[in-house]
Amino acid sequence: MEALPTPPARIADVAARAGVGIATVSRVVNDRGNVAGPTRERVLEAIRALEYRPSSVAQNLSLKRTLVIGVVLPFLTEASPIERVRGVVTALASSPYDVALYDVESADRQQRAFRLLADAHRTDGLLLVSLIPPDEEVRRLRAASIPCVLIDARHDGLPSVVIDDIAGGELATQYLLELGHRRIAFIGDKPADPFRFQSSRDRTIGYERALESAGIPIRPEYVREGTQSRHVARSIADELLQLPERPSAVFAASDVQALGVLEAARGLRIDVPEQLSVIGFDDIEIASYVGLTTVRQRLFESGQRGAELLLQALAGQPPPAHVETLPLDLVVRGTTRPAR
Amino acid sequence: MEALPTPPARIADVAARAGVGIATVSRVVNDRGNVAGPTRERVLEAIRALEYRPSSVAQNLSLKRTLVIGVVLPFLTEASPIERVRGVVTALASSPYDVALYDVESADRQQRAFRLLADAHRTDGLLLVSLIPPDEEVRRLRAASIPCVLIDARHDGLPSVVIDDIAGGELATQYLLELGHRRIAFIGDKPADPFRFQSSRDRTIGYERALESAGIPIRPEYVREGTQSRHVARSIADELLQLPERPSAVFAASDVQALGVLEAARGLRIDVPEQLSVIGFDDIEIASYVGLTTVRQRLFESGQRGAELLLQALAGQPPPAHVETLPLDLVVRGTTRPAR
DNA sequence: AGTCTGGTTGGAACCGCTTTCATGAAACTT
DNA sequence: AAGTTTCATGAAAGCGGTTCCAACCAGACT
């Protein structure tokens, strides 16, 4: 009993079978307008018999919407964007919208994605994660009145969900200062990255600001940069920890890098936290397992919140706040301790 | 200079401006058919001036396709499905297809997703991850000729990408046996889960088979089940490690659970691997950091391969192999050691 | 009994694109 | 020079829905 490929029923088939006009079928399907009881029954019967499902593509064309929200983000490889996506998916789960994912590792991928954004009909709304759209595209989006919300990025005139990276940098550094540390090193992201915004740079500023207000001079040899990877961070930390005057604490701009620092310390037989305090940023899942002290940024929530804002915009309400700043929390675990 | 919301140009606008028919514009846009040089130029000029982008929704309706591949999966919260999605996204990056994500944590979400699958027009193809579709839906899919590939799941008549869980269970257990362990415990997934396939059960079978062929009787008190979480695994391991005859090795059906075992051991001051060997399954990212010995399954590759198979099916080629089994590798790290 | 009113209904236009098909002009035959 | 191809082109018919609008019908009202 092989089910042969039957073309799916169209609205006209249903109408014919029920002996009514297509308009009536549409009314029944969408529960709109007045349809007399018996008529409705006949239509429903026909729908059941034919296993009719309205073609969403046709609906989309007719209603000029797609019920798709595009999520554009770089580095799907990393833990943090994924957390954000999870937030987005969760927030959109109870909405009628689907989530389309666009990963833009490379520049041409980004090109492609933005070309797509420019297609005024592919998505109803856009969520850009850790990505700053070119002005040109923003203009197009606006012209096509496609709402767009940024997550972990800013752009004039677009609503966004962000954190205060400067404050975060200060928070971490101040905590180390309170613990009595004076020789505090910093490992940041390499800002050369074409996509990267200035999160890391801002965290550096926070770091410097905290040191300054504590009256501690900034030592250039304590401030390093490398790509966002454990491996690179490890080798940077290796150098750092073999300086004549070894830092007693390291603030890494991300947990991933902090893990690299921990590895380096282990390799050099430097006990953490006895001889070295380490603090990270993000609070990714591994952090809790390893017991890493860190600055938690609410990744999941950022996605969720961004999606909510977009949903509001889609519902016709103008986005309430232009820039929404999510709070940061210091999560003290086992890799930090008062300086001796 | 505010860009006011101008309705996007339609094909008719372009045609009017270029002084040609819409058919000609379509030909130029799709690079199909013959269009005289000068005419083409005029059309291109008009397209440029009007910033015309064909509406993909309209194209979809006309061409009866969507260029969307739906990826349905439960537990986006966990590390392994995400790795698979990454594989899918990567494989599909250079294709014209977009990826729509459907997370189906709860039963009604699953309901919704399958209802969606049944909509013959929303996606061109489907990738089901760790999910077995009801026969009814499979029938519908076939009737609508929507190709569908399963990843980490099987269903008669649908191509799938899987691993040999039995062999994996044997692999892990045999390794422990080779190390001289005789008291080997097993912690598996709770099979009560409505979505869950029988991966965990199969791994149990592999475990039992390995013990049997080594002539070692299976002790029921050594075989436990709990939900896929570190927390639950930890408490199970807690009990296990306080049995009168404590096992010398534990095989956990997933790395996440293995991490729970490590925690339990730490809590009980049982040294790993000196006093207890632990082996996991999956090889998620944390595993390498923690130095967990495990059975690697190629998650990323499973997504990638599944997407490739689907692409082939979409291109009209029937899927070559019905069930594709990905290899498993034993990854020896620091949590296993010969029995004393 | 005749007109009004309001709920039901179906025809037809429209959403924006692709593609078939007919048409006319240009190029080629014989 | 007349007939036959070939090529470029546009009108129109889908694709499968939604919705405006006019037509119809029954009961309510005068």
For chain A, give the mean pLDDT.
89
Sequence length of chain A is 340
The predicted pLDDT at position A197 comes to 60
Mean pLDDT of B310-320: 83
Asked if A249 and A181 touch (Cβ cutoff 8 Å), the reply is: yes
pLDDT of residue A34: 84
Residue nearest to nucleotide D20 (CA to C1'): A23
Give the whole-angstrom CA distance, residue A198 versus residue B42.
Answer: 44
Please report which confidence band the pLDDT of residue B195 belongs to, taking 50, 70 and 90 as the band edges: low
Beta-strand pair B249-252/B68-73? unpaired
The predicted-structure confidence for A77-99, as pLDDT tens digits, reads as follows 677 788 899 899 999 988 989 99
Region label for A88, one of left (φ > 0), alpha (ψ between -120 and 50) or beta (otherwise): alpha
Nearest to A139 among B3, B54, B98 (CB): B3
Q: Which helix (H) or strand (E) holds A286?
A: helix A285-290
Helix (H, G, I), strand (E, B) or coil at B279: strand
Cβ neighbours of residue A121 closer than 8 Å, sequence gap 6 or more:
A64, A66, B8, B53, B55, B56, B57, B58
B214 touches strand C (CB under 7 A): no
Average pLDDT over residues B245-250: 96
In this complex, which residue's CA is closest to the C1' atom of nucleotide D7? Answer: B34
Residue A11 in this model has a pLDDT that exceeds 90 = yes
DSSP A219: P
* CB-CB neighbours of A77 under 10 Å: 13
**Mean pLDDT across A113-124:** 77
Scanning every strand, the nucleotide with its C1' closest to B23's CA turns out to be D10
Pairing of strands B293-297, B328-331: antiparallel
Supply φ then ψ for residue B35, to 5 degrees.
Answer: -130, 130
**Token pair listed for A246:** 């070894």
Pick the more confident residue, A133 or A279. Answer: A279
pLDDT value of position A196: 57
| Identity of the residue in A86, A100, A118 whose CB atom sits nearest the CB atom of B99 | A100
B81 or A224, higher pLDDT: A224
CA A31 to C1' C6 (Å) is 20
Residue of A nearest to B142 (CA): A5
HSE-CB at B215 with a 13 A cutoff on CA atoms is 0
Per-residue pLDDT, B263? 92
pTM of the model: 0.87
Distance B27 CA to C24 C1' (A): 20
Q: Note the pLDDT of residue B136.
A: 83
- Cα distance from B78 to chain A (closest Cα, Å)? 10
- For A22 and D20, how far is CA from C1' in angstroms? 14
**Which pLDDT score, from 0 to 100, does residue B134 have?**
84
Whether CB of B20 is under 7 Å from strand D: the answer is: yes
Per-residue confidence (pLDDT) for residue B328, from 0 to 100: 97
Give the range among A75-79, A320-324, B110-114, B123-127 with minimum mean pLDDT: A75-79
Cross-chain Cβ contact B57/A66 below 8 Å: yes
**Phi and psi dihedrals of A120, rounded to 5?**
-65, 0
A186-215 per-position pLDDT tens digit: 999 875 555 556 788 899 999 999 999 999
pLDDT at residue B131, as a whole number: 86
Measure A4 CA to nearest chain B CA, in Å. Answer: 6
Residue B194 has pLDDT above 60, yes or no: no
Residue pair B256/B78 in contact (Cβ under 8 Å)? The answer is yes
- Residue with CA nearest C15 C1'? A62
The span from the first CA to the last CA of chain A, in angstroms, equals: 79
pLDDT tens digits, residue range A24-73?
Answer: 999 999 988 788 888 899 999 999 999 899 999 999 999 999 999 999 98
What is the structure's pLDDT at B242? 96
Q: What is the pLDDT of residue B197?
A: 60
Four-point Cα dihedral B239, B245, B247, B252, nearest 10? -30
Q: Is there contact between A63 and strand D, defined as CB under 7 Å from any strand atom? A: yes
Burial of A259 (0-12, 13-18, 19+ CB in 10 A): buried
What pLDDT does residue B97 have? 93
Higher pLDDT among residues B42 and A77, named by residue: B42
Indicate the length of chain B as a whole number.
340
Q: How far, in Å, CA of A96 to CA of B102, rounded?
A: 12
Q: Report how far apart the first and last C-alpha atoms of chain B are (Å, whole number).
A: 79
Q: Which nucleotides of D are covered by protein (CB under 7 A)?
A: 7-12, 14-20
Nucleotide C4 C1' to residue A110 CA (A): 65
Task: Give yes or no for residue B22 having a pLDDT over 60.
Answer: yes
Q: Which two tokens stand for residue A314?
A: 């889609």
- Say if residues A311 and A91 touch (Cβ distance below 8 Å): yes
Q: What is the mean pLDDT of residues B255-276?
A: 94
With a CB cutoff of 8 Å and minimum separation 6, the contacts of B336 are B175, B176, B179, B249, B273, B277, B278, B279, B293
Q: Which two tokens stand for residue A174?
A: 């101040």
CA distance B119 to A199: 43
Please report, rounded to a whole number, the percentage of residues in chain A having pLDDT higher than 70. Answer: 94
Partners of residue B73 on adjacent β-strands: B103
Residues 6+ apart with CB under 8 A from B134: B114
Are A57 and B285 within 8 A, CB to CB?
A: no
Which pLDDT score, from 0 to 100, does residue B82 have?
85
Tokens 């009881």, residue located: A37
When the pLDDT of each residue in chain B is averaged and rounded to a whole number, the result is 89
What does the alpha-carbon distance between residue A301 and residue B179 come to, in Å, rounded to a whole number?
46
**Measured between CA atoms, how close is B98 to chain A, in angstroms?**
7
Residue in chain B closest to A260 (alpha carbons) equals: B289
Torsions phi, psi for B177 (to 5 deg): -65, -45
From the Cβ of A23, is strand C under 7 Å away?
A: yes
What is the rounded CA–CA span in Å between residue A270 and residue B339?
A: 31
Query: Are A121 and B8 in contact (CB < 8 Å)?
Result: yes
The encoded tokens of residue B167 equal 């062999």
B216, B190 Cβ separation under 8 angstroms: no
Per-residue pLDDT tens digits for A327-337 = 999 999 999 99
What is the C-alpha to C-alpha distance for residues A64 and B98, in angstroms, rounded to an integer? 20
Q: Which of A241-245, B104-108, B250-254 has the lowest mean pLDDT?
A: B104-108
% residues pLDDT > 90 (chain A): 63
Contact B282, B132 (CB under 8 A): no
| pLDDT at B46 > cutoff 90 | yes
Q: CB-side exposure of B281: number of CA atoms within 13 Å?
A: 31
Going by C-alpha positions, the residue among A325, A309, A320 that lies closest to residue A125 is: A309
Which nucleotide in the DNA or RNA is closest to residue B121, CA to C1'?
A: D16
Q: Do B144 and A5 touch (CB under 8 A)?
A: yes
What residues contact B118, with CB distance under 8 A and at least 6 apart? A51, A53, B137, B140, B141, B144
pLDDT recorded at residue A193? 53
Who wins on pLDDT, B34 or A214? A214
Distance CA A309, CA A315 (A): 10
What is the pLDDT, as a whole number, of residue A169?
A: 97
